[in-house]
Structure 1
């Protein structure tokens, strides 16, 4: 079983962790007052970054069987919706004709 190791266990990943750690230490020790004033903005900045970079595990654009299954479910739902819509139109038309018949008497 030869699987590709995680990025964080490669030499580049360890170097990245070291750089992140050193930068975090420097920011916390030397620039604490400045850091706490911009912390809310950093949190808001993390939201789109996490949204962009955390979708990597969703399988990309390749074809999957699940997509075909969801498409068939969507088709069934759409057919049920149209059938219900047509039934409601028929019921409304029948009520309207019944009302017209009662008014004509």
Structure 2
């Protein structure tokens, strides 16, 4: 039997049984902590929402109004005037 290590044959951590179990435990833990401290969390929600826009810009979110295309990238058969 060949037990040599083949590149790409190993699953990522989050797809293994231990990874799935740890992720489930973390989600359950976060749920109970959030449930117990909802009063504190709800007071911070307006500030967390205000932080979303800069964080989305830092991680590359595009609001839709910003276009990174130049004038030369437009299609040649565009009939708009």
Q: Kindly indicate which of the two structures has a greater share of residues assigned to helix.
A: 1
Larger relative contact order (C-alpha < 8 A, sep ≥ 6)?
Answer: 2
Which protein has the larger Cα radius of gyration, Structure 1 or Structure 2? 1
> Normalised by the size of structure 1, how large is the TM-score?
0.33
> Normalised by the size of structure 2, how large is the TM-score?
0.39
